[in-house]
């Protein structure tokens, strides 16, 4: 069945690539429609392949890394499209489509070079949702901090940043929603894999800190929305904490016993 | 300056009082840790139920006098939330930076047993509880998201904390062929169980072992551009590593070593993975990671480099057990990582085995967990999941 993947994947990749190109080049209404149509047909091609693969394998295609990559692409697109439609953020459709495209291309170009080993603790139905939801949260919060930096710059140039911060707030709320889901999915998974939903493992501690820092930001913003200067700095700082939780954790002396450090 | 100082503790309170209160709680907590040098008490059933009821009553009374007290109103305000959440976050950051010793004296090195942590937790529950009550009465539909998030978090936090004393985690050691009725707690005390397991078989499947290029001198894995030269075994195929074409001629997943350094398929005890490899089509030889019975086997490429097969990584391990319950029921079960067994209020997890023997281990280690407060925690978590969806779809509703 994977033999036919090339056909479906190239169709998806080509259409998404075109859609991305259009969305970058032009901003006309007609182009917007074209982007939507292309991206949806690309998605349907991926969907068709997953359905055929499922029937062919006679089991849910969620076992190997290559199979999970299909789902990454699948969900990334759906979430990207829904958020785009709901909030009218074209950049988010482009962003998630780009990520989905990367995963399809990975499957196409390097189907077998990845390590196939997955330690038993990671072999769970929670693996995919936990990771995807976190990646989405990181995408939103990353964008919010970019807006934060832009606001810092604009403030420096004495431009109004009220609108920018309102946009950032919205994005933080959505990102925080996904961050909460990631945290809770992780807790539910931990209960199945390690016996307890929360053990203050270093990665958990830093995930909590990240969550709390954004929570602090949301409360500060809610209370005194006019104190924009303080809040922009906080927004930039919060992403720093997020990066510690994501990558920095591997270098912290307190984290060497973490169950999340996979060598 | 004098003017400012006089204003400080006067109502209405704001951020400065909140920060000072948090600092005060932190110092008090550390002082208590320093003088008592004992871990905080963890109430068990039924005392934790009473404590929870007391907490809710206090919150209800405080909420009742809300209108007449500025202090109580402040306690459900954003500055108080920042104070409580900020302190809790500060303690988490310290916990995330300072290596923790679970058995050490309570304090900065053992935060979870410290008074500082307990005081911060209590302050958080009070502020969060009052903030939630503020929106429950009077109830408005537009506050649904707020309530799901705040009440959900309060329930999850309260149940996790109050239930900590009732959480039991035991280790159970099963030997193949034997029936075991007991497990051990963290103090190595033997505890009898209302059920028993007979380990019929411990099963472990390995992934095909990886191969690596190692130094003949110190046996360390070589690196190229900072990346270790490790690859999946190319079964029925070849790969290129550091310029060498490495091909698998024969791969045996269970092999025993015969004389003349030859490997042959076998299911005997100690059977190990082995592969006949070729380097650039000119050098041929067996590689095998070795185990408790057989020495490892390398294929020399030149004086300084050799091809090695690494110890295999487990793909799956599980205990096939026969379960005996007190009321005479007998049935068979498989307990596997990520697939715990539920029995008589316990959840049973596959955790370990005798690493020296790998798939030939006759020992299986299980962990038994009983957490009667789990359903309450889950109610809180599921409310937060609903609240998260609310946030995602509502975004930030602007204050007009």
Q: B198 is written with which tokens?
A: 């007979």
- Residue % of chain B over a pLDDT of 70: 97
Which tens digit of pLDDT belongs to each residue from B137-156?
Answer: 888 888 999 999 999 999 99
**Yes or no, beta carbons of A196 and B371 under 8 Å apart:** yes
- Among B205, B165, B195, B207, residue whose Cα is nearest residue B366: B195
- Chain A closest-CA separation from residue B259 CA (Å): 32
The string of DSSP codes covering chain A is: -GGGHHHHHHHHHHHHHHHHHHHHH---HHHHHHHHHHHHHHHHHHHHHHHHHHHHHTS-S-SSHHHHHHHHHHHHHHHHHHHHHHH--HHHHHHHHHHHHHHHHHHHH-TTTS-----GGG-STTHHHHHHHHHHHHHHHHHHHHHHHHHHHHHHTT---HHHHHHHHHHHHHHHHHHHHHHHHHHHHHHHHHS-S----HHHHHHHHHHHHHHHHHHHHHH-TT-HHHHHHHHHHHHHHHHHHHTGGGG-GGGTT-TT---
Distance CA A61, CA A55 (A): 9
Give the integer Cα–Cα distance in Å for A159 and B158. Answer: 46
Q: Does pLDDT of A109 surpass 90?
A: no
**Angle formed at CA A54 by CA A50 and CA A60, multiple of 5 degrees:** 105
Q: Residue A2 has what pLDDT?
A: 64
Distance between CA atoms of B208 and B374, rounded to whole angstroms?
39
Q: What is the largest CA-CA distance in chain A?
A: 62
A-B CB pairs within 8 A amount to 134
Q: What is the pLDDT of residue A225?
A: 85
Distance of alpha carbon B161 from the chain centroid: 17
8 Å CB contact of A180 and B387: yes
From chain B, pick out residues whose CB is under 8 angstroms from the CB of A117.
Answer: 207, 210, 232, 313, 315
* pTM of the predicted model over 0.90: no
Residue B162 to residue A41: CA distance in whole angstroms: 53
Among A17-26, A176-185, A202-211, B60-69, the minimum mean pLDDT is found in A17-26
At B389 the three-state DSSP class reads helix
Cβ A254–B85 below 8 Å, yes or no? no
Assigned token pair, A219: 């409360």
Instruction: Say yes or no to pLDDT of B23 above 50.
Output: yes
Q: Residue A178: its chain B contacts at CB < 8 A?
A: 388, 392
Q: Which residues in chain B have Cβ-Cβ distances shorter than 8 Å to A176? A: 388, 391
Q: What is the pLDDT of residues B151-190, one digit of tens each?
A: 999 999 999 999 999 999 999 999 999 999 999 998 899 9
Mutate to test the interface with B, among A126, A219, A235, A253 (most CBs of B within 10 A): A219
The rounded Cα B9 to chain-centroid distance in angstroms is 43
For residue range B109-141, list pLDDT tens digits in order.
Answer: 999 999 999 999 999 999 999 999 999 988 888
| Residue contact B316–A193, C-beta within 8 A | no
- Do B244 and B299 form a contact (C-beta atoms < 8 A)? no
Please state, in angstroms and rounded to a whole number, the distance separating the CA atoms of residues A115 and A118. 8
User: Which residue in A has a C-alpha nearest to residue B346's C-alpha?
Assistant: A195
Q: Which residue is listed with tokens 């889950």?
A: B378
The vertex-B256 CA angle with B254 and B262, nearest 5°, equals 115
Q: What is the pLDDT of residues A151-169, one digit of tens each?
A: 888 888 888 888 888 888 9
Residue B321 buriedness (CB in 10 A; 0-12 / 13-18 / 19+): buried
Cβ-based burial of A128 (10 A; exposed 0-12, middle 13-18, buried ≥19): middle
Q: Which helix (H) or strand (E) holds B305?
A: strand B305-309
**B213 vs B223: CA distance, rounded Å:** 8
Q: Residue B307 and residue B301: Cα distance in Å, rounded?
A: 7
Dihedral sign computed on CA atoms, order A179, A181, A184, A188:
negative
> Which pair of structure tokens corresponds to residue B259?
């004389």
pLDDT at residue A119 is higher than 90: no
**Residue B398: pLDDT band with limits 50, 70, 90:** low
Single out the residue of B24, B371, B365 nearest to residue B184, CA to CA.
B365
Distance from CA of B313 to the nearest CA of A (A): 8
Query: How confident is the model at residue B158, as a pLDDT?
Result: 97
CA distance, residue B11 to nearest chain A CA (Å)? 18
* Residue B245: C-alpha distances to residues A2, B219, B277, B303 (Å): 26, 21, 10, 18
Distance CA B131, CA B117 (A): 21
Task: Say whether B313 and A119 touch across the interface (CB within 8 A).
Answer: yes
Percent of chain A scoring above 70 in pLDDT:
88
Closest-approach residue (CA) in chain B for A181: B385
What is the complex's ipTM, to 2 decimals? 0.89
Question: End-to-end CA distance of chain B, in Å?
Answer: 36
Return the closest-CA partner of residue B30 out of B109, B98, B99, B85. B109
Q: What angle do CA B254, B257, B263 make, to 5 degrees?
A: 65
Q: How confident is the model over B368-377, as a mean pLDDT?
A: 96
A116-120, A243-247, B315-319: which is most confident: B315-319
Query: How is residue B280 annotated by DSSP?
Result: T
When the pLDDT of each residue in chain B is averaged and rounded to a whole number, the result is 91
d(CA B365, CA A62): 29
Of B235 and B341, the one with more pLDDT: B341
Write out chain A residues lying below 8 Å of B88, CB-based: 212
Set of chain A residues whose Cβ sits within 8 Å of the Cβ of B99: 253-254, 256
- Cβ neighbours of B314 in A, within 8 Å: 119-120
Token reading at A233: 């700095």
DSSP B165-214: GG-EEEEEEEETT-EEEEEE-TT--EEEEEEEEEEEEEEEEEPPPEEEEE
CB A19 within 8 A of CB A40: no
The vertex-A123 CA angle with A119 and A129, nearest 5°, equals 130
Residue A225: both structure tokens together: 């929305």
Looking at beta carbons, which residues of chain A come within 8 Å of B338?
120-121, 123-124, 192-193
pLDDT at B234 over 70: yes
Question: Per-residue pLDDT for B399 more than 60?
Answer: no
Alpha-carbon distance A28 to B64, whole Å? 58
Lowest mean pLDDT among A2-11, A76-85, B97-106: A2-11
Give every CB contact of residue A251 below 8 A, 6+ residues apart in sequence. Answer: none
Tokens of B109: 């090195």
> Considering only CB atoms, which chain B residues are within 8 Å of A172?
396
Give the highest mean pLDDT range of A86-90, B204-208, B377-381, B392-396: B377-381
**B92·A212 Cβ contact <8 A:** yes
- B388, A215: Cβ pair inside 8 Å? no
Q: Encoding tokens for residue A46?
A: 């991926």
Higher pLDDT, B316 or A55: B316
* Residue B350 region by backbone torsions, left for phi larger than 0, else alpha for psi between -120 and 50, else beta: beta
Per-residue confidence (pLDDT) for residue A127, from 0 to 100: 79
- Which is more confidently placed, A25 or A17? A17
Other Cβ atoms less than 10 A from the Cβ of A113: the count is: 10
With beta carbons less than 8 A apart as the criterion, state whether B361 and B202 touch.
yes
Q: In whole angstroms, what separates CA B253 from the centre of its chain?
A: 33
């Amino acid at each position: 069945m994977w033999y036919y993947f090339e056909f479906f994947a190239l169709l998806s990749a080509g259409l998404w690539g075109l859609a991305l190109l259009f969305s970058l080049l032009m901003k006309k209404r007609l182009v917007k429609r074209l982007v939507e149509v292309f991206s949806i047909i690309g998605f349907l091609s991926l969907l068709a392949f997953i359905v055929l693969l499922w029937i062919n394998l006679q089991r849910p295609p969620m076992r190997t890394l290559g199979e999970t990559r299909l789902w990454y692409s699948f969900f990334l697109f759906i979430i990207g499209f829904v958020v785009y439609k709901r909030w009218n953020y074209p950049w988010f459709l482009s962003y998630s489509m780009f990520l989905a495209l990367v995963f399809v291309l990975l499957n196409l170009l390097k189907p077998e070079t990845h390590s196939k080993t997955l330690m038993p603790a990671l072999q769970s139905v929670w693996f995919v949702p936990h990771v995807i939801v976190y990646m989405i949260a990181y995408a939103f919060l990353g964008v919010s901090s970019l807006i934060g930096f832009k606001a810092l710059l604009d403030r420096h140039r004495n431009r109004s940043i009220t609108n920018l911060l309102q946009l950032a707030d919205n994005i933080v709320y959505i990102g925080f929603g996904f961050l909460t889901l990631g945290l809770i999915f992780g807790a539910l998974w931990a209960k199945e894999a390690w016996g307890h939903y929360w053990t203050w493992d270093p990665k958990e501690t830093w995930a909590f800190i990240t969550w709390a820092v954004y929570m602090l930001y949301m409360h500060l913003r809610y209370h005194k929305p006019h104190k924009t200067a303080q809040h922009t700095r906080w927004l930039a700082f919060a992403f720093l904490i997020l990066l510690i939780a994501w990558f920095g954790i591997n270098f912290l002396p307190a984290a060497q016993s973490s169950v999340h450090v996979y060598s | 300056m004098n003017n400012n100082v006089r204003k400080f503790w006067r109502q209405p309170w704001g951020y400065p009082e909140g920060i000072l209160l948090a600092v005060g709680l932190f110092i008090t907590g550390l002082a208590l840790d320093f003088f008592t040098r004992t871990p905080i008490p963890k109430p068990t059933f039924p005392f934790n139920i009473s404590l929870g009821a007391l907490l809710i009553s206090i919150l209800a009374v405080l909420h009742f006098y809300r209108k007449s007290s500025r202090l109580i109103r402040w306690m459900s305000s954003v500055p108080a939330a920042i104070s409580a959440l900020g302190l809790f976050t500060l303690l988490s950051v310290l916990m995330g930076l300072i290596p923790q010793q679970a058995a050490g004296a309570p304090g900065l090195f053992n935060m979870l047993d410290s008074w500082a942590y307990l005081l911060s937790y209590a302050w958080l529950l009070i502020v969060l509880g009052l903030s939630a009550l503020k929106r429950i009465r009077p109830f408005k539909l537009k506050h649904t998201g707020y309530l799901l998030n705040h009440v959900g978090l309060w329930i999850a936090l309260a149940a996790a904390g109050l239930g900590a004393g009732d959480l039991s985690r035991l280790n159970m050691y099963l030997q193949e062929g034997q029936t075991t009725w007991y497990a051990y707690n963290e103090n190595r005390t033997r505890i009898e169980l209302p059920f028993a397991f007979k380990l019929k078989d411990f099963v472990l499947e390995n992934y095909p072992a990886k191969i690596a290029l190692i130094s003949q001198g110190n046996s360390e894995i070589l690196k190229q551009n900072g990346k270790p030269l490790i690859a999946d075994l190319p079964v029925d195929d070849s790969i290129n590593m550091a310029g060498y074409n490495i091909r698998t001629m024969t791969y045996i997943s269970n092999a025993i070593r015969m004389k003349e350094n030859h490997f042959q398929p076998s299911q005997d005890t100690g059977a190990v993975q082995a592969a006949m490899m070729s380097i650039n089509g000119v050098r041929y030889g067996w590689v095998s990671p070795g185990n408790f019975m057989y020495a490892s086997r390398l294929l020399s490429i030149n004086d300084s480099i050799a091809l090695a097969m690494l110890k295999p990584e487990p793909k799956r391990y599980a205990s096939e057990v026969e379960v005996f319950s007190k009321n005479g029921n007998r049935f068979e079960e498989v307990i596997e990582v990520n697939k715990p067994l539920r029995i008589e209020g316990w959840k049973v997890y596959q955790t370990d085995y005798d690493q020296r023997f790998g798939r030939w281990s006759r020992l299986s280690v299980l962990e038994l967990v009983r957490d009667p407060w789990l359903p309450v925690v889950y109610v809180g978590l599921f409310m937060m999941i609903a609240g998260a969806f609310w946030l995602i779809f509502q975004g930030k509703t602007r204050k007009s």
